[in-house]
Amino acid sequence: MPVECHTDMFIYESNTDLTTVASLIQDAKRILVTTHAKPDGDAIGSTMALKRAMPDKVEVVLMGPVSSAMRSVAGTTPWHDASQGMPAGGEDLILVVDTGAFSQVELMADWIRDRSDHVVVIDHHASGNEMGARRYVDSTAASCTILIKELLHEMGVVINGGTGSVAEALYCGLATDTGWFRHSNADARAFRVAAELLEIGLNRDGLYRTIEETAAPSRLALQARAMQSIEYVLDGRGAIMSLRPEDFKETGGTQGELPGVVNVPLQISTVEFAVLMCCEDGQETKLSFRSKPPFTPGSPFVNVSDLANKLGGGGHVHASGARVMGSIENARVILDEAVSQLETGS
């Protein structure tokens, strides 16, 4: 199981501010922007917003797989596939957005380490590694695109609207990371930003359809198998689902088709947290964790970031992920141990 090494002295928090980051960007001639592997809406939104705001200065590098939905969101905005090798050198600034964890940038981890002096991390997650010389972390932000919007404002960049615009990219990250404004992180700040972006102008319904309503039949086949595999733990407080290599082979589906499936068991009144375990190749098991916010603010809830951390992963208190080398059976042993130690948070 890959686990990042953390020193007792390191605390994942900001060591710079947006004014400084804005100055570094304005002084740079060539900026490389990247994010975590298997980019989601917030990762794509953050990288595309920066590219669209500064098309002649920014080059985006993505680590796959990049889903068809995320490719559609990127549209005609160019980006480089890290699996094809890194672009020519010469960048004087590297921005890593929506993550600060080396485990999420494995393909580029050594490349980033070798250039750490001019790496700036911009992230809204509560945990990460000492990835670059500078980092701006705000875990109160519902999405990384909120931070990118604030950065662009600091730089005096006018955010344009319409299809393929900066506003669309920013909204994509905000909408998807809040579950289209249903999750507990959809706070007043998130709604204010959403309102500002909608006033600038974007096709909200078209974006939703592009991301959420373009699934192949294999998506439903995999979801059905995940539902059939549910096991309830802790007297029904938890629901664990498993998808094995044969499930992917027989349905023709892939892990990239599964966003949102982990949330389905949360519809059950007694279920407080859900886990989806996926082993597509028999070599590695990926786990997604979700939990419900409390009925009453301040009441106990299941902090799935704690669960993910025990498996070498991390994320948010209500949405996290991890990966374990080996089969689902191997991962399940470790997961069961973590679940047995589960405590509620507030």
Secondary structure (DSSP) of 30-71: -EEEE--SS--HHHHHHHHHHHHHSTTTEEEEE-SPPPHHHH
1, pLDDT greater than 60? no
Mean pLDDT, all residues of the chain: 92
285, pLDDT greater than 70? yes
Q: Could you give the percent of the chain with pLDDT greater than 70?
A: 96
Do 160 and 70 share a structural domain? yes
pLDDT for residue 2? 41
C-alpha triplet 281, 286, 287: angle, nearest 5° = 150
Q: Cα-atom radius of gyration of the chain, to the nearest Å? A: 20
Instruction: Report the alpha-carbon distance of residue 38 to residue 271 in Å, rounded.
Output: 28
Query: Does 121 map to a domain?
Result: yes
292, pLDDT greater than 60? yes
pLDDT (tens digit, 9 = 90+) per residue, 204-225? Answer: 999 999 999 888 899 999 999 9
pLDDT for residue 64? 85
Do 234 and 168 share a structural domain? no
Do 67 and 195 share a structural domain? yes
Among 105, 103, 130, CA closest to 32: 105
Do 191 and 260 share a structural domain? no
* CATH code of the domain containing 48: 3.90.1640.10
Identify the band that residue 299 occupies on the pLDDT scale cut at 50, 70 and 90.
confident
pLDDT for residue 9? 64
pLDDT for residue 3? 38
Secondary structure (DSSP) of 116-160: GGGEEEEE--S-----SSEEEE-TTSS-HHHHHHHHHHHHTPPPP
pLDDT for residue 343? 63
Among 165, 186, 163, CA closest to 175: 186
67, pLDDT greater than 50? yes
Do 140 and 228 share a structural domain? no
pLDDT for residue 7? 43
Do 165 and 67 share a structural domain? yes
C-alpha triplet 316, 266, 143: angle, nearest 5° = 30
Q: Are 29 and 143 in contact (CB under 8 A)?
A: no
8, pLDDT greater than 60? no
Instruction: Report the alpha-carbon distance of residue 310 to residue 307 in Å, rounded.
Output: 5
Compute the average pLDDT of residues 284-292.
Answer: 93
* CATH code of the domain containing 314: 3.10.310.30
Do 190 and 238 share a structural domain? no
Compute the average pLDDT of residues 43-71.
Answer: 95
Q: Domain range holding 177? A: 18-212
pLDDT for residue 323? 87
Instruction: Report the alpha-carbon distance of residue 172 to residue 59 in Å, rounded.
Output: 20
Instruction: Report the alpha-carbon distance of residue 242 to residue 292 in Å, rounded.
Output: 20
Do 222 and 176 share a structural domain? no
Domain total in the chain: 2
Name the more confident of 51 and 255. Answer: 51
pLDDT for residue 103? 87
Do 221 and 172 share a structural domain? no
Q: What contacts 301, CB < 8 A, 6 or more positions away?
A: 272, 291, 292, 293, 294, 317, 318, 344, 345, 346
Q: What is the pTM of this model?
A: 0.82
Query: Does 1 map to a domain?
Result: no
Region of poorest pLDDT, from 9-23, 255-269, 308-322: 308-322
